Chain A
Amino acid sequence: MKLTALLLATTYYVTIAGLGGEPDYEQRFTTWAQEIDKILKSGAGDAKVETLYGPAATRAGLRSLLERIAREAGPQDLLVLMLIGHGSFDGADYKINLPGPDISAVELAGLLDRIPAGRQLVVNMTSASGASILALEKSNRVVIAATKSGTERNATVFPRYWVEALRDPAADTDKNEVITALEAFRYADRKTAGFYESQKRLATEHPLLEDTGKGEGVRAPSPENGQGLVAATFPLVRFGDAQRLAQDPVKRKLLVKREELEQQIDRLKYQKAALPAEEYRKQLAALLLELAKTQAELDK
């Protein structure tokens, strides 16, 4: 699906911050959830943002919220579920710790399956979250976990950088004013690794991404391992005026032209190794110039 088409969809965002156990974690989890809430509400696009933290972040509250979205959302819509907190894995089930009864990955998967949103993203940022991938994965659902397995049980720093990814324009590496799930994952993954490296600490979390619905997740999604294709076109945060432009028929033509040029550039980049360097450069420069002119028209 092209990004231009996705711009017209509604995105449902659900963020839940689980039980901290200690004041420090309680505050940290709540702050991250609140920051996500603030960023999403201030962003562009048709977004419906729901955030649960503190006493409200219960299993019943989350179930009720996801059941409501299941009733409201349509196939063209998108769903983003973000989990923050302490997770646990007993060798069979993954659970996120919530006030009152916890909720398991299997139960969450059942709730998500009932939501008709055609594309879904689950970002499980808790400790031991790697153990939730197999239960949550499904076709057209991107699953991101902060840890590679259920045995990485230490509190994670991944959410800190996920929050950063949502607000840092640097995360938008292709500069199309949309931060995709893949861009945010790569940003947070790199910053998490950098954190441990600069602190000279052994990394206790290794984030994974799975979006084929049948894998165990990978550290570095790429065409070679077949992961990241869905995530690369999953718009997580939009901060430009692309959505407004998509609703104007004249501008829409230019948007289509822009997208075509972008696709030509992508194809050329795939042929880079096969082309003489000078030829590649010449063709690239021409396409980029044309694209710049089209954008200038759009910006008028």
Chain B
Amino acid sequence: MRIKYSLVLLWCFPLAAQTPDSCRDLSRRGRLSEAAGCFQKLAASSNPYWRAEGFWGLERYDEANEQFRAAVKLEPKNASYRVRWGRLLLERFNPPEAESLFEEALAISKNHPGALLGLALVAAEGFESKAVELAEKAALADPKLVDARELLAALALEDSNPQRAIEESDKALVISKEALGAMAIRATIDWLNDRSETPWLNRILAVNPVCGGVYATAGRFFVLNRRYEEGVRFYRKALELSPRLWEARSELGVNLMRLGQDEEARQHLELCYRNYYRNAATGNSLRLLDSYKNFVTLKSDNTILKLHKKEAELLEPYLEAELKRAIRTYEQKYKMRLTQPVQVEVFPDHEDFAVRTLGMPGLGALGVSFGYSVAMDSPSARKPGSFHWASTIWHELSHVFVLTATRHRVPRWFTEGVAVHEETAVSPDWGDRISPDVILAIQEKKLLPVAHLDRGFVRPSYPAQVPVSYFQAGRICDYIARQWGDEKLLDMIHSFAQVKTTPEVVEQQLGLKPEEFDRRFLAWLETDTRKTVQGFAEWNKRLRALAELAKAAKHDEVIREGLAIRDLYPDYVEAGSVYEFLAGAYLAKNDRAAAAAELERYAAIGGRNPATLKRLATLLEELGRKKEAAAALSRLNYIYPMDEELHRRLGDLWLEEGNVQGAIVEYRAVVALKPLDQAASHFSLAKAYRAASQLDQAREHLLLALEAAPGYKPAQKLLLELSQ
């Protein structure tokens, strides 16, 4: 999200006469026609660097780029030219080349403040933790570099640390009383705290009466805090003052899409595009809007499903049922009713889903909630077994309730923690399992204090920190529910709605200082995970040996060793799990009951490999445990429902077990998948309808079966029976 710094930082260059700085200062003060004249003169200068700055100011970016190239060629040892060129490229959506130029500038002039700041800006765009360190270095290299302080203030606010943001803003204001970026941060903090009147606004407008940047800054932070509607309002205000603030307009478009206001979103995005503001967010969002013609919208009283045409018929019954079940459950649990339908968009192409989460740090792994609007991957977007769509729906619906209940005034860690907690509450096998990354984080004491847990989501300091933070937040909510009861989570929601900070809510609701809460939680977690954490290294080593034994078909040894290590790390149900090795060995010894028992453990913990779950169902069928076999296959419906064989088998089992309605649902899914064997799929559905005494539907599907295969004997027999 580029609006963040380039807008803010351009405001604060020192005054000089008829120079790039003086032109920019006119611009910064909102004296736009004078600024344009000034840039025009620069563009006509004989100095290529000045021409570059002139063209840049006139939004003639290609020419500016060419002139920077000429300037650098003329003065290859001038680090500042490279820094300014880098800033142009950063503004024009090319961070990799910008970064190279900043690096080149540093090679010419070690500790060049502008180059360090440029690198900090690049890192900040990617929500990288090194952004803070680089900005601090820049501030150290030039203690009067207002931009560095303003960036530090913005980064602190991103990290949910308003106190530090205020301190850094104030430092910037000490350097320059007219530091617009710093004042924008101060104003934003006031607005985030629901103070509608802020003294900072007048101070900003006194410097620049058409300063849309202040509202754009606020818009950005409101969006980052998931307060989308307010964010949109700020972006609108920004554009009222500065209609050519393309970054703000693009962000307005993107966020209108998030709120389901696609038509207006398209207008803003197209306007950006026509004016050559073509960053990834703008282009991809327009492409996504174009692709909506391939989607169908299915409405009920409290849900709106937006599904791709090619899978709508298959997914609708499953998704809608689950959505309604989640809404019912949460309305009861959170003691509130939603005031409008929840819209869920499901993308079969992960790239389309990614567009929805663009610029959102740590978001979008599986789904994302924008208030009443949810976007998520379709199960078809991911490798079978890697995605549990139903737990994602429950997770995102939890956000809808928590965000609504708090009016979007909730820290990231808490809403994620509640959502993760809710996944497990629906079914223990749906929730997060302890992963090797989490084990290592616990071992290395990398879990964050609750007061700073948001940082783990926004600016991870190690690659796995986002998933580790999800796990930690979820377990914190588990802990609170266990120690104080589920009601306490609801109380905390209400406290957050009062715009209280995490330390305040912890103290008020749990009666503990945050540090004491951390101590108790970690002690509880340590006890809970001790066996796995302590046994992990041994398990890891012995699992490799187990795989070798299995490869060598040493079945007795696999069973002995497998049983010895299985419970050291029972949560491990990914590829090559002990359960699967054990089941394989038992099967080789023709002990189907033992094999089934292992795979039942695998499924109960949350194993999701479709082939393994189908094997379990087969074993259970062979053992005459048809109901359990159906249950095993039903799990797969929540994981990868695009499987014709799954629905056919489950339909057969339900029909056999007398669950006629269940069979109809499954056979309808087979038909929806448009299988090659149309005849058999319609015939099965006809049989189920007949069993349900729905004879008209039975005849309908029988005709469809025979139309596809006129000589299909079982269908012919049923036709003769129904014709009598």
By beta carbon, the residue of chain B nearest A191 is B676
Most chain B Cβ neighbours within 10 Å, of A169, A171, A292:
A292
Answer whether residue B382 sits at the interface, using C-beta atoms and an 8 A cutoff.
Answer: yes
Stretch at the interface among A46-54, A107-115, A283-291: A283-291
Stretch at the interface among B119-127, B277-285, B712-720: B712-720
B708: chain A residues within 8 A (beta carbon): 173-174
Chain A interface, number of residues (Cβ within 8 angstroms): 32
Task: State whether A289 and B719 are in contact (beta carbons under 8 Å apart), knowing that A190-B676, A200-B382 are contacts in the complex.
Answer: yes
User: CB within 8 A of B711: which of A174, A190, A199, A281?
Assistant: A174
User: CB within 8 A of B703: which of A177, A200, A261, A288?
Assistant: A288
Task: State whether A285 and B703 are in contact (beta carbons under 8 Å apart), knowing that A173-B678, A258-B711 are contacts in the complex.
Answer: yes
User: CB within 8 A of B709: which of A174, A293, A296?
Assistant: A174
B703 touches A175 (CB 8 A): no
B709 touches A176 (CB 8 A): yes
By beta carbon, the residue of chain B nearest A199 is B383
A292: chain B residues within 8 A (beta carbon): 706, 716-717, 719-720
A175 touches B712 (CB 8 A): yes
CB distance from A198 to the nearest CB of B (A): 5
- Flag A51-95 by CB within 8 Å of B: 1 or 0 each: 000000000000000000000000000000000000000000000
Instruction: For the complex, give the distance between the alpha carbons of A172 and B675 in Å.
Output: 12
A186: chain B residues within 8 A (beta carbon): 676
Task: State whether A175 and B676 are in contact (beta carbons under 8 Å apart), knowing that A291-B716, A292-B717 are contacts in the complex.
Answer: no
B677 touches A262 (CB 8 A): no
Most chain B Cβ neighbours within 10 Å, of A170, A171, A291:
A170
Answer whether residue A155 sits at the interface, using C-beta atoms and an 8 A cutoff.
Answer: no
CB neighbors of A among B672-714 (8 A): 675-680, 703, 706-713
- Flag A10-21 by CB within 8 Å of B: 1 or 0 each: 000000000000
Instruction: For the complex, give the distance between the alpha carbons of A174 and B705 in Å.
Output: 9
Task: State whether A289 and B679 are in contact (beta carbons under 8 Å apart), knowing that A176-B709, A262-B710 are contacts in the complex.
Answer: no
Instruction: For the complex, give the distance between the alpha carbons of A292 and B709 in Å.
Output: 12
Task: State whether A296 and B716 are in contact (beta carbons under 8 Å apart), knowing that A170-B677, A187-B676, A285-B703 are contacts in the complex.
Answer: yes
Answer whether residue B143 sits at the interface, using C-beta atoms and an 8 A cutoff.
Answer: no
Instruction: For the complex, give the distance between the alpha carbons of A78 and B546 in Å.
Output: 52
B710 touches A170 (CB 8 A): no
User: CB within 8 A of A293: which of B382, B680, B713, B720?
Assistant: B720
A174 touches B679 (CB 8 A): yes
Answer whether residue A214 sits at the interface, using C-beta atoms and an 8 A cutoff.
Answer: no
Instruction: For the complex, give the distance between the alpha carbons of A77 and B56 in Å.
Output: 79
CB distance from B678 to the nearest CB of A (A): 7
Give the interface SS of chain B, mostly helix, strand, loop or mixed. helix
Instruction: For the complex, give the distance between the alpha carbons of A175 and B709 in Å.
Output: 5
B662: chain A residues within 8 A (beta carbon): none
A296: chain B residues within 8 A (beta carbon): 716-717, 720
B362: chain A residues within 8 A (beta carbon): none
Instruction: For the complex, give the distance between the alpha carbons of A292 and B703 in Å.
Output: 12
Answer whether residue B723 sits at the interface, using C-beta atoms and an 8 A cutoff.
Answer: yes
A288 touches B710 (CB 8 A): yes
Most chain B Cβ neighbours within 10 Å, of A177, A186, A258, A291:
A291
B723: chain A residues within 8 A (beta carbon): 289
A265: chain B residues within 8 A (beta carbon): 710
Answer whether residue B384 sits at the interface, using C-beta atoms and an 8 A cutoff.
Answer: yes
Number of inter-chain CB pairs below 8 Å: 76
Instruction: For the complex, give the distance between the alpha carbons of A192 and B382 in Å.
Output: 18
B713: chain A residues within 8 A (beta carbon): 175, 295, 299
Give the interface SS of chain A, mostly helix, strand, loop or mixed. helix
B716 touches A170 (CB 8 A): no
B675: chain A residues within 8 A (beta carbon): 170
A284 touches B703 (CB 8 A): yes
Instruction: For the complex, give the distance between the alpha carbons of A287 and B719 in Å.
Output: 12
CB neighbors of B among A252-300 (8 A): 258, 261-262, 265, 269, 281, 284-285, 287-289, 291-293, 295-296, 299
Instruction: For the complex, give the distance between the alpha carbons of A54 and B75 in Å.
Output: 71
CB neighbors of B among A170-222 (8 A): 170-177, 186-187, 190, 198-200
By beta carbon, the residue of chain A nearest B678 is A173
Instruction: For the complex, give the distance between the alpha carbons of A97 and B183 in Å.
Output: 74
Instruction: For the complex, give the distance between the alpha carbons of A169 and B678 in Å.
Output: 12
B707 touches A198 (CB 8 A): no
User: CB within 8 A of A295: which of B384, B680, B707, B711?
Assistant: B711
Instruction: For the complex, give the distance between the alpha carbons of A258 and B713 in Å.
Output: 12
CB neighbors of B among A131-177 (8 A): 169-177
A173 touches B720 (CB 8 A): no
User: CB within 8 A of A170: which of B680, B706, B717, B720?
Assistant: B680
B720: chain A residues within 8 A (beta carbon): 289, 292-293, 296
B710 touches A173 (CB 8 A): no
Task: State whether A288 and B709 are in contact (beta carbons under 8 Å apart), knowing that A186-B676, A200-B383 are contacts in the complex.
Answer: no
Instruction: For the complex, give the distance between the alpha carbons of A188 and B723 in Å.
Output: 36
A269 touches B707 (CB 8 A): yes
B710 touches A291 (CB 8 A): yes
CB distance from A167 to the nearest CB of B (A): 14
Task: State whether A171 and B384 are in contact (beta carbons under 8 Å apart), knowing that A262-B711, A285-B703 are contacts in the complex.
Answer: no
A291: chain B residues within 8 A (beta carbon): 706, 710-711, 716
Instruction: For the complex, give the distance between the alpha carbons of A293 and B710 in Å.
Output: 12
Most chain B Cβ neighbours within 10 Å, of A198, A200, A288, A295:
A288
Instruction: For the complex, give the distance between the alpha carbons of A169 and B713 in Å.
Output: 13
By beta carbon, the residue of chain A nearest B385 is A198
By beta carbon, the residue of chain B nearest A187 is B676
A284 touches B707 (CB 8 A): yes
A177: chain B residues within 8 A (beta carbon): 711
Instruction: For the complex, give the distance between the alpha carbons of A190 and B677 in Å.
Output: 11
CB distance from A16 to the nearest CB of B (A): 27
- Flag B82-111 by CB within 8 Å of A: 1 or 0 each: 000000000000000000000000000000
A261: chain B residues within 8 A (beta carbon): 710
Task: State whether A176 and B711 are in contact (beta carbons under 8 Å apart), knowing that A288-B706, A288-B719 are contacts in the complex.
Answer: yes
A287: chain B residues within 8 A (beta carbon): 710
Instruction: For the complex, give the distance between the alpha carbons of A190 and B707 in Å.
Output: 21
A198 touches B384 (CB 8 A): yes
B716 touches A173 (CB 8 A): no
Instruction: For the complex, give the distance between the alpha carbons of A262 and B709 in Å.
Output: 10
Instruction: For the complex, give the distance between the alpha carbons of A174 and B677 in Å.
Output: 8
B642: chain A residues within 8 A (beta carbon): 198
Instruction: For the complex, give the distance between the alpha carbons of A295 and B677 in Å.
Output: 21
Task: State whether A173 and B717 are in contact (beta carbons under 8 Å apart), knowing that A200-B382, A288-B703 are contacts in the complex.
Answer: no
A299: chain B residues within 8 A (beta carbon): 713
B719: chain A residues within 8 A (beta carbon): 288-289, 292
Instruction: For the complex, give the distance between the alpha carbons of A130 and B678 in Å.
Output: 29
Instruction: For the complex, give the distance between the alpha carbons of A159 and B57 in Å.
Output: 63
Most chain A Cβ neighbours within 10 Å, of B707, B711, B713, B723:
B711
B709: chain A residues within 8 A (beta carbon): 172-176
CB distance from A219 to the nearest CB of B (A): 15
Instruction: For the complex, give the distance between the alpha carbons of A269 and B711 in Å.
Output: 15
Instruction: For the complex, give the distance between the alpha carbons of A172 and B678 in Å.
Output: 10
B679: chain A residues within 8 A (beta carbon): 173-175
By beta carbon, the residue of chain A nearest B383 is A200
B676 touches A174 (CB 8 A): no
Instruction: For the complex, give the distance between the alpha carbons of A258 and B719 in Å.
Output: 16
By beta carbon, the residue of chain A nearest B610 is A198
Instruction: For the complex, give the distance between the alpha carbons of A284 and B680 in Å.
Output: 18
A187: chain B residues within 8 A (beta carbon): 676
Most chain B Cβ neighbours within 10 Å, of A169, A175, A177:
A175
Instruction: For the complex, give the distance between the alpha carbons of A160 and B698 in Å.
Output: 35
4 closest A-B pairs by beta carbon, nearest first, are A175-B712, A292-B716, A175-B709, A170-B677
Can you give 20 A-B contacts (C-beta < 8 A)?
A170-B675, A170-B677, A173-B709, A174-B710, A175-B713, A175-B715, A176-B709, A199-B383, A262-B710, A262-B711, A265-B710, A281-B703, A284-B703, A284-B707, A288-B703, A288-B710, A289-B719, A292-B719, A292-B720, A293-B720
6 further A-B pairs in the complex, CB-CB below 8 A; given A170-B677, A173-B677, A187-B676: A175-B712, A186-B676, A199-B383, A265-B710, A285-B703, A292-B719
